[in-house]
A and B are shown apart, each in its own frame.
Chain A
Amino acid sequence: MSNKVLHVLYNDDDILMDAVRKTRAAHHHIEEVFTPFPVHGLDKAMGLAPTRIAIASFLYGLVGLSVATTMMNYIMIQDWPQDIGGKPSFSYIQNMPAFVPVMFEMTVFFAAHLMVITFYMRSKLWPFKAAENPDVRTTDDHFLMEVSVKGDENELVAFFQETGAVEVKVIEKHY
C-alpha cells in the first residue's frame, strides 16, 4: 500500500485557514497541520474535537481535595489528636478552618500538575523525544498541511496549488 502524502506549504495563516476550509469542503483528508504559532480558529476549521483536559483537571482537583482531607483527618484528628494551642481537635469540622489553606493548595497542586502531565502524555511529549518536524521552516515562518494521497495524484497537486500554496511536495512516508 502506498504511503504517499502531500506536503503543502503556505506562508500566511489566513491563506492556510482558507485552504483548510477548501480542503475539507473537497473531502480530502487532512493528516496534520504544522504551524509556527497557534492559529486562532484552526481547530474549528479542521473540525477537531474539543479538548477534555479541563474536565480531567477538575477531577484531579477533587482527588487533591480528598487526599488533603483524608491526610489531615488521619494525622490531626484520628491518629494523635493533641491539644495544640487550644485548637479543637475533636472532629475534623471543628478544626477545619485551620486545614483549609492546605486543602486549597493541594487541590490546586493536583489539578495543575496532573493536568500538565496528562497534557504531556496525550501529546506524547517528553525529553529526548525525537522531533517530528517534517520541514524546519514550519517552526519559523511557514505553515505546512499534510494531506494523504488518494486517487489521482496530479489532480490533487493541482488542487492544492490553486489554494495559494507556495510549495506542494509529494512525499513517500516511512512509518
Chain B
Amino acid sequence: MYTFSNSLRTFAFILMAVGILGIGYSFFTAPTSLEEVEQILAAEHHGGHGEAGAHEAAGAEHHEAEAAHAEHADVPAVVEHSAAEAEGTHEGHDSVNAVATHAEHDTVATSHDAASPTGDAQEAGHDEHSELAHAADKAAIDAVHDAHKGHDAHAEHDAHKEHAEHVFKQLQNKPWAALYVAAIFFMLISLGVLAFYAIQNVAQAGWSPVLFRVMEGITSYLLPGSIVVFVLLVLGVLQFHHLFIWMDPAVVAEDHLIKAKSGYLNGTFTLIRAVIFFGGWILYRQYSRKQSLAQDEATDNLAYKKSFKAAAGFLAFFIVTESIMSWDWIMSVDPHWYSTLFGWYVFASFFVSGITTIALVTLYLKSKGYLEYVNTSHIHDLAKFMFGISVFWTYLWFSQFMLMWYADMPEEVVYFKMRIDNYNLPFFGMVVMNFVFPILILVNTDFKRLSWIVVMAGIVILCGHYVDFFNMIMPATVGDQWFIGAGEIGSVLFFFGLFIFVVFTALTKVPLLAKRNPLIEESKHFHY
C-alpha cells in the first residue's frame, strides 16, 4: 500500500495556496472600467506621458507614424506591393468578421502590419494603436489609402474608443482564460490517461498491467477536473465571463455567421453535451475501477471480461465525444474558424501529456520503492509512447498549419496569421518543446531507460502542451494582451496542486499491484 508522504501533501497544499493567491491577484488587478483601460493604454505606450489625455496621445502617435512613414516612402515598390497584400488580407477579413466589431478591429491592426513590413522601431512600440498609425498612412499615401476604403468611416477618436473597449474586454477575459486553460489542461491529462488505460485493456497489452493502478490513480482526477471545467462552462453561459463570444446574445444578434451556427452553438445544448460527455467518461472511469478492484478478490475472470467490454465501448464513445468536445470547448472560442482535424489534434496533445504523466508518476513511485515489478523496460515502453505520440502530435499540428498556410484562404488562415503575429514565441516555441526536443532526446534506446532523461523530457513535453492549449485559447480570448503572469502561473500551480492531491490520495486507497489480472504475471516479468 502506498502512503501519501507528508512532504508531498504539504507541497500540494502550498501549490494550491500559491495558485489561489495568483488567481486572486489576477482577478483583483483586472481592469473594472473603461477609464482604467485608457490609463493602462496611455501608460503602456507613452511612458512618461501617461497622464496625458488619450486624445493628445493619439495626436502624438499620428505624428510619429507620419514620420515613420516618410522614412520608407522612398521605397515605393515595397509600399505598393504590401498595399496589395493588405488589400487581400483585408477583404478576406471583412468577409469573415462582417459584424463582430472587435474582430474587425484586429483586422485593421493586422493589415497595417502587412502594409509596413519594414517594422520600424517607432511603430513596433505602438501595436495597440496601429489603426491610428494606419490612418496616418492613409493620409500620406494614396496607394495605401485605396486599400483601406472600408475604414474611411472610422474617425480617429471613434477608432480609439472602440480599441479601448476591445482591450478592456480582453483584459477582463485574461484571468478567466488563464483559469480555463489550466483547468481544461489538467482535466484532459486525466482523460488522456483514461483513454490510454482503455486501449491497454482492449489491446490486452502484456506489459502494462503493473501500471494499471497508477493509471487508475491519475484518472481519479477526472471527476473533480470535470466539475471545475463544467462550472467554468456554466459561468460562461451565465455571462460571468466572455471567453466564448457566441454565448453573448448581443454578439450573436449582430453576427450573422455565429447566428447561423446557433443551432449548435448555444448555451443550453452545449451544457447538455458537456453533461453527456463528462457523464460517459466518468461512468467508464468508475466502472472500470470497480471491476479492476473486483477482479482482485474474484475467483474467476468475469470482472476482467466486463472491464474489457466496457473499455471497448468507452473507446467508441470516447472518439466521438472527444472530437465534439474539442469543437465545443476549444475550437468554439474562435467561432468564425473551423478545422476538420482539430479533434485529432487536441486528442494527440492531451494523449501524449497523459502518457507522460503516467511515466512521471510511475518514476516517482518507483523512486520511493513502491513499484516492485516496474523495471526499465516498462519505462522504456512509456518513453517510446511519449516519443511516438509527440511525433504524431507534430504531424497533426503541421498538417493543420500547412494545409491552411498553403491554400491561404482568408477565412481560415486568419487563425494562424493572428498566432504568428502576436504569439510568435509560444506558437513556434511549442513545436521545439513538443517535437524537436523529444525527438532528439528520446530517439536513443539507452536514454529511454534513464529516469532522469525521461523525467526531463516529460517536463518539457508537459510544459510544451500547456503552451499548446494556451495557444488554442488565448488568441481568441485575450488577443495581443497575453502574458504569462500571476494569473496564468497561479492557475497552473493551483490545478497542479489539486492534481497531485487527488491523484496521490487515490493511490493510497488500494494496493499498487493488481492481483488477479490475467496478464499480470507476464507484465511482472516483462522484459524488452
* Interchain CB contact under 8 A, B405 and A97: yes
Q: Which residues of B are found within 8 Å of A100, using beta-carbon distances? A: 398, 402
* Chain B CB within 8 A of A86 CB: yes
In the complex, the answer to whether A98 meets B406 with C-beta atoms within 8 Å is yes
Q: Does B338 contact A (CB under 8 A)?
A: no
The one of B398, B406, B445 in contact with A54, judged by C-beta atoms closer than 8 angstroms, is B445
Interface residues of A in 57-96 (CB under 8 A from B): 58, 86
CB under 8 Å from chain A, chain B span 266-280: none
Contact with B along A90-124 (1 / 0, CB 8 A): 00000001101000000000000000000000000
Q: How far is the CB of A78 from chain B (nearest CB, A)?
A: 21
Interface residue B11 (Cβ < 8 Å from any Cβ of A): no
A46–B311 alpha-carbon span in the complex (Å): 44
Task: Tell whether, in the assembled complex, residue A86 and residue B408 are in contact, meaning their CB atoms are under 8 Å apart.
Answer: yes
* Docked complex Cα distance between A20 and B97 (Å): 75
Residues of A within 8 A of B402 (CB): 97-98, 100
**B401 touches A (CB below 8 Å):** yes
Nearest residue, chain A, Cβ from B85: A86
Q: Are A97 and B443 in contact (CB under 8 A)?
A: no
Contact mask for chain B residues 402-417; partner A; CB cutoff 8 A; 1 contact, 0 none: 1001101000000000
Q: Which residue of A lies closest to B405 (CB)?
A: A97
How many B residues have CB within 8 A of the partner chain?
Answer: 8
- Chain B 436-476, CB-CB to A under 8 Å as 1, else 0, gives 00000001010000000000000000000000000000000
Chain B nearest CB: distance from A107 CB in Å?
Answer: 11
> Which of A54, A58, A97, A100 has most B Cβ within 10 Å?
A97
The chain B residue with its CB closest to the CB of A55 is B444
- Closest partner residue, chain A, to B403 (CB atom): A97
Q: How large is the interface on A (under 10, 10 to 19, 20 to 34, 35 or more residues)?
A: under 10
Secondary structure of the B side of the interface?
A: helix
Contact B401 A97 (CB under 8 A): yes
Q: Within 8 Å CB of B401, what residues of A?
A: 97
| A100 and B408 alpha carbons, distance in the complex (Å) | 17
Residues of A within 8 A of B406 (CB): 97-98
CA distance A54 to B444 in the complex (A): 9
> In the docked arrangement, what's the CA distance between A58 and B445, Å?
13
Q: Considering the chains assembled together, what is the distance between the CA atoms of A58 and B442 in angstroms? A: 13
Chain B residues numbered 386-434 whose CB sits less than 8 Å from any CB in chain A = 398, 401-402, 405-406, 408
A119 to chain B, nearest CB (A): 18
A residues 27-67 near B (Cβ < 8 Å) are: 54, 58
Contacts of A54 in B (CB 8 A): 445
**B89 CB to closest chain A CB, in angstroms?**
12
Q: Which residue of A lies closest to B446 (CB)?
A: A50
Who on chain B is nearest to A54 by CB?
B445
Contacts of B408 in A (CB 8 A): 86
A98-B406 Cα distance, complex, nearest whole Å: 7
B-side contacts of A58, CB under 8 Å: 443
The distance in angstroms between the C-alpha atoms of A97 and B401, with both chains bound, is 9
Instruction: State how many angstroms separate the Cβ of A123 from the closest Cβ of chain B.
Output: 21
A97 — which chain B residues lie within 8 A by C-beta? 398, 401-402, 405-406
Write the chain A residue with the least CB distance to B398.
A100
A43 CB to nearest chain B CB (Å):
15
Of all chain A residues, the one with the shortest Cβ separation from B440 is A58
In the complex, chain B residues 485-526 whose Cβ is within 8 Å of any chain A Cβ: none
CA distance A86 to B88 in the complex (A): 12
Which residue numbers of B lie inside 8 Å of A, CB to CB? Answer: 398, 401-402, 405-406, 408, 443, 445
Where the two chains meet, the residues of A that have a C-beta atom closer than 8 Å to any C-beta of B are: 54, 58, 86, 97-98, 100
Would you mind naming 12 contact pairs between A and B with Cβ atoms under 8 Å apart?
A: A54-B445, A58-B443, A86-B408, A97-B398, A97-B401, A97-B402, A97-B405, A97-B406, A98-B402, A98-B406, A100-B398, A100-B402
7 extra A-B contacts, CB within 8 A, seeds A97-B401, A100-B398 = A54-B445, A58-B443, A86-B408, A97-B406, A98-B402, A98-B406, A100-B402
* 7 pairs of A and B residues whose beta carbons are closest in the complex: A97-B402, A97-B405, A98-B406, A100-B398, A97-B406, A100-B402, A97-B401
